[in-house]
Structure 1
Amino acid sequence: MAYYFDELIVAEIRNKNEVALRELYKSHYPMVLNLIRSNNGTEQEAKDVYQEAVIAFYERVQQEGFVLTCKISTYLYAVCRRLWLKRLGEKKRYHGNIEETETFLGIEEEMETVEENEMKFERMRESLSGLGEPCRSILEDFYIRDLSMEAISTKFGYTNADNAKNQKYKCLQRLKKLFFATYKEDPS
């Protein structure tokens, strides 16, 4: 599910869709703000670093042949981390090399958390793909495409929004079962 969203964002950014760019900017900024603030930075410095990273990402996406090999959040986090460590070095608040400082600043733990979340998202995506129709489409329409229950009701031929809502609930329960079944099989 998360990779599908990332692929949509990349495709829309390639088409120079400003709404997609704003969504990208909004959705990952809190992660970067936390990174910078917890490592001797200010909110303004976080905004500057993030702006620079988003511009770099935008330019990379526009390059022919660019393929995103990780989640957008991972890509942006890595770019912001490097930019921030470079700025710390320029301000004489950082002495040493980037790899040593990653452990010192707690970045290693944050990256582990990001990786754990990515694994959960991957499991969720796998569970969603194993869910079958119409459940998968109903959940994607509601949670990813942000369709109203009325629109979903019409699309799938339910008599009213309440019936569609009940179906969405049943689909969520099935998705939870699938997710936790795979989670128990592979708790890593």
Structure 2
Amino acid sequence: MNVVYYFDELIVSEIKKKNEVALRELYKTHYPMIVNLVRSNNGTEEEAKDVYQEAVIAFYEKVQQQGFVLTCKIKTYLYAVCRRLWLKRLAEKKRYHGNIEETETFLGIEEEMSTIAENENKFASMRESMSGLGEPCRGIIEDFYIHDLSMEAISEKFGYTNADNAKNQKYKCLQRLKKLFFAKYKNEDLS
């Protein structure tokens, strides 16, 4: 099951019509993310602008192709393309010492897009599973893993007699979450 936001569908629809306003909106929306990517990886804002323009042009051309279907968020697509282009430029400038083609970490764009889309689906399934978990389980898991509370603090907050009892409850909650997640994830794989 591919999750694509309404905004993305609207942008793609308008770009297919060669709407320049939609293209400018797309450009403005995701530009800061790419500047951050390039600047935090030995680049300048000018280099980020070049890479981003190249990625947006590639996206525009892809959208114009007959039968184009968006299978992930536009943001995901642009990030993957820009990351790939930036790594290639770093390699050309000898500022990146790996071999992009041979390194498992740097997959081709299509493989990377597939991996990212799969991860997005897993995160969506996990969010749904967490929301279906109910209290006190959701609260215990969030407090421990997200808010970094100790078992003693969780024990006090939820009224358990000691940290060991809270730890046992957390284990049971994790088992329930695991069951919910895999049930949802398997169902999404089948659809």
TM-score range, shorter chain: 0.5 to 0.7
Equivalences for residues 106-125 of structure 1 within 5 A: 119=123
Q: How far apart, CA to CA, are the structure 2 residues paired with 1:82 and 1:117?
A: 22
Cα distance change on mapping 1:29 and 1:118 into 2, 3 Å: farther
Map of 1:4 onto structure 2: 6
Per-residue CA shift, 1:34-85, capped at 9, x if unaligned? 1100100000000000000000000000010111111101100010001001
Map of 1:91 onto structure 2: 93
Offset of residue 3 of structure 1: 1.4
Equivalent position amino acid for 2:43 in 1: G
Offset of residue 92 of structure 1: 1.0
Q: How far apart, CA to CA, are the structure 1 residues paired with 2:105 and 2:54?
A: 21
Offset of residue 116 of structure 1: 6.0
Q: How far apart, CA to CA, are the structure 2 residues paired with 1:20 and 1:63?
A: 17
Unaligned runs of 5+ in 1: 103-107, 127-179
Percent identity over paired residues: 74
Equivalent position amino acid for 1:51 in 2: Q
Larger radius of gyration: 2
Map of 1:17 onto structure 2: 19
Q: SS at the partner of 1:65?
A: coil
Equivalent position amino acid for 1:57 in 2: F
Cα distance change on mapping 1:60 and 1:2 into 2, 3 Å: closer
Per-residue CA shift, 1:122-164, capped at 9, x if unaligned? 96xx9xxxxxxxxxxxxxxxxxxxxxxxxxxxxxxxxxxxxxx
Map of 1:168 onto structure 2: none
Offset of residue 181 of structure 1: 3.4
Q: How far apart, CA to CA, are the structure 1 residues paired with 2:35 and 2:51?
A: 9
Q: How far apart, CA to CA, are the structure 1 residues paired with 2:50 and 2:123?
A: 29
Q: How far apart, CA to CA, are the structure 2 residues paired with 1:116 and 1:65?
A: 23
Q: 2:4·2:71 contact (CA, 8 Å) conserved in 1?
A: no
Equivalent position amino acid for 1:38 in 2: S
Offset of residue 6 of structure 1: 0.5
Map of 2:131 onto structure 1: 181
Unaligned runs of 5+ in 2: 107-111, 139-176, 183-191
Map of 2:68 onto structure 1: 66
Map of 1:137 onto structure 2: none
Map of 1:76 onto structure 2: 78
Map of 1:45 onto structure 2: 47
Cα distance change on mapping 1:31 and 1:117 into 2, 3 Å: farther
Q: How far apart, CA to CA, are the structure 2 residues paired with 1:61 and 1:86?
A: 24
Offset of residue 97 of structure 1: 2.3
Q: What value does the CA root-mean-square deviation take over the aligned residues?
A: 3.5
Q: SS at the partner of 2:61?
A: helix
Q: How far apart, CA to CA, are the structure 2 residues paired with 1:101 and 1:181?
A: 32
For structure 1, which segment, 89-98 or 48-57, has the greater mean C-alpha deviation from structure 2 after superposition?
Answer: 89-98
Q: 2:4·2:70 contact (CA, 8 Å) conserved in 1?
A: no
Offset of residue 101 of structure 1: 6.2
Q: How far apart, CA to CA, are the structure 2 residues paired with 1:8 and 1:118?
A: 25
Map of 1:134 onto structure 2: none
